[in-house]
Amino acid sequence: MHHVEGIQCGLPVIYHRDGGGIVELARCYGVEYSDDLAFAIETMRTAYESHRRTVLSDPPRSGDEMCLRMVDIVQKMRTV
């Protein structure tokens, strides 16, 4: 979960497009690459402040908050 921890600490992400489960979250907070890592690094360098603002203004939810929201969802399903 290094990508989540980094994002929660305010760090944008450079991620490989075939990165598995990282891709879904990281696409909101960083730059994708496939073959040209150097280009992705330069893109991040150029747009770093914008990505950083996004990370700081809307970070992923904490594990505790995620668990509480899941409990709410399950409880609502039981009442249906």
Q: Which of 13, 9, 35 is nearest to 22 (CA)?
A: 13
Measured CA to CA in angstroms, residue 62 lies from 18, 19, 53, 56 at distances of 25, 22, 18, 13
Kindly list the averaged pLDDT for each block of 10 residues, start to end, along the chain of length 80. 82 93 89 96 96 88 72 80
> Is the whole model's pTM more than 0.75, yes or no?
no
Q: Which of 1, 6, 36, 38 is nearest to 21 (CA)?
A: 1
